[in-house]
Amino acid sequence: MIRIGLWVKFWHFCYFSINFLIYMKKLPLFLLTISISLLFNSCGTQQTIALKPDVGVAKKSTLPLSSINLPISINCLAIENNINKQFNGILYNDESFENNNNDNLIIKITKLADFKITGAGDKITFTAPIEIYVKGRLKKDFFSMFDQTVGVDQSKEATFKINLTINSKIGIGSNWDIQTSSEANFQWREKPYLELGLIKIPIASVIESVLNLKAKDLNAQLDQEISKMLKIKPMIEKYWNEFQQAQLINENYKSYLLISPESIAVSKINSNGTSILFYVGIKAGISIVSGEKPIATSLKPLPNLSQNQKFDSSFTLYCKAAINYTQASLLANAAIAEKTFEFNTGKEKVTIHHLEIFNNGDRIGAKINLTAEITKGFFTKKINAELYALGTPYYDKETQQLKINNFDFDVKSKNALVGPAAFLVKNTLKKQIEQQLAYPMKSQMLEMQGVANNAMANANFKYIRLNGKIKHFEPSDILLEEKSLAIQVACEGNLAVSILGF
C-alpha cells in the first residue's frame, strides 16, 4: 500500500510538472528559465553555515571590599617595665656652681621609685617620683656689703621630693612610625627656698627652669624609647602578608579562603588605663575559590596608613556557585537535542540536533546545529544550518535556576539566513530554545552556604584567628568566566578577629 501511494504521488508530480512545462512554453524565455530554476531550487537542500560572533567586551568583575578589623592591645605594664629599665638612679646632676651662667646652684635629680603608667584616651601618663637635691652658694662679695669681716663664701643645701608627671599623647604616622608628644608637669606643695643665715633665698624658679630643661630631655628620651618599643609596622606587615596566603577550608571541595587586601587604616588610640587600644582596619576582597590552591607569586607591599576610618564588625564574604560550559552544554542537549518544533500549522519544522554553550565575553553563546523543512504547496525545502545565538544569563531567585534572557540569533547568523531559511528568524524558535536553557543551582547554592559558614572557623592562619557568623546569603552578580558560568553569592555577617602571639 505504501509503495502504491508513493507511485501515485510520483505520477501526480510528473503530470503536474509536464503540464507546467507546456504552460511555460507560452511564457517568454527568461521567465521560463526563472521558473525552472525555482522549481529545482525548491526540491534541493540549502546549506547555511554562519560565522562565529565577534567576542564581546567582558564586564570587568571587581570584588567589593569588606573590612577586617584587627584589634591591637598593648599592655601599659610592658611599657612601664621597659621604661624603668632605661631610667634609673640619677636623672640629672649639675655639680658646679658656675654652670648655667654662674647660677651658684648645684642640683641633682634622682629617681626615687619606679615610674608608674596609666592611660586615658589617646594619652598615657607617667608618674615619676623624684628627689631634688639643691646646694646654693652666696659669694663673699654679697656678704661684704653687710659685714666686712666675712671673707668666705656661704652655702646651704636642701632636699625636696616631688612627683613629676609626664603626659604623652600617642599617634601613628602615615609611615607607621609611633609619634608621641610629651609634656611634663609638677606642682610644689610649698615653694622651696634656701636659708642662709637670716636670708631666705627662693629657688623655685631656678629649680623649675632646670626641671623644665630636664623634662624636655626626659620627654625626648621617653618618646624615643616608646618608639623603639612599639614597632607597629613589622607587626602589621606580618598580618598583611599572611592574609595574602590562601587558606584551605574544605578538603573535600578543595575550597580556599582568599583574602586580597587593598588598603589599610588605623583608628584613634584609646587607653582604658591598663592597655593602649586601637584597631587596624584592612579593606580587602574576601572570597572562596575552588580547585587548585591559588599561589601568590608576589605579595602586595604594606601601603601607607590612612587615618580615622570608620570601623565595624560587618563584613561580606563572596563565594561562587558555578557550572562549567561543558556541563551546561550536556544539560542543554539533554533538554532539547533531537526535539522537533513545528510552526505555521506544521508547514515549518525545525529539529535541534546539538547545542554547544560557550563564553562570548559579555554574553553567553550557543552554537546550534539544526535541520529544517519548509513546505509550500507541493514543494518541500530542506535546510541544514549551523547558527549562533547569544543571550544574557541571570539568576531566578524563585526557581533557584540560572537562566538565559534576550536569547536571539547573532547578526552574522541572521545575515546568513536568506531565502527559505529566513523563516528561522521570524518564528519563535529562539524563544523555545531559551526556555530550555535553565540550570538548577539549588544544590550548589546550599553547598556554598555550608562552605562559607565553615570558612571562618577553619581558616588556619598562624597569627590570626577568625570568628565569623554569616547571617544572610544573596546572589549579587553573574560572572562569565573563562571555563564556567558562575553566580557570585554575597555572604553577609559579622566578623571578629583575634591576634595570636602578639
Tens of pLDDT, residue by residue over 446-470, are 888 888 888 877 787 888 888 888 8
Residue 330 has pLDDT above 70, yes or no: yes
Q: Which pLDDT does position 352 carry in this prediction?
A: 96
Distance of alpha carbon 486 from the chain centroid: 19
Evaluate whether 246 touches 460 at the Cβ level (below 8 Å): no
Domain coverage including residue 105: 74-230
Dist CA 489 CA 393 (whole Å): 15
Domain presence at residue 193 = yes
In a domain, 118, yes or no: yes
The whole-number pLDDT of residue 149 equals 45
Q: Is residue 235 part of a domain?
A: no
Query: Can you tell me the mean pLDDT for 345-361?
Result: 94
Does 68 map to a domain? no
What confidence tens digit (pLDDT) does each residue in 368-381 have?
A: 999 999 998 888 89
Host H or E run for residue 8: helix 2-24
Residue 6 has a pLDDT of 44
Write the pLDDT tens digit of every residue in 140-166: 554 444 444 444 456 677 788 888 888
Query: What is the arithmetic mean of pLDDT over 234-245?
Result: 90
Q: Residue 271 is placed in which grid cell?
A: 587607653
Cβ neighbourhood burial of 112 (10 Å; 0-12, 13-18, 19+): exposed
Alpha helical stretches, state H, 245-340: 325-336
The model's confidence at residue 118, banded by pLDDT at 50, 70 and 90, is confident
For residue 98, pLDDT beyond 50: yes
Please choose, from the candidates 150, 443, 145, 176, the residue with its C-alpha nearest in 3D space to the C-alpha of residue 321. 443
Q: Is residue 218 part of a domain?
A: yes
Residue 334 forms part of a structural domain: no
How many domains are there within the chain?
1
H or E element that contains 432: helix 429-436
Query: Percent of the chain beyond pLDDT 90?
Result: 23
Within a domain: 326: no
- Of 102-106, 253-257, 288-292, the one with minimum mean pLDDT is 102-106
Cα gap 387→368, rounded to integer Å: 5
Task: Please report whether residue 192 resides in a domain.
Answer: yes
pLDDT of residue 480: 92
Look at phi and psi of residue 351 and say left if phi exceeds 0, alpha if psi is from -120 to 50, else beta: beta
pLDDT band for position 414 (50/70/90)?
A: very high
How many whole angstroms separate alpha carbon 126 and alpha carbon 309? 29
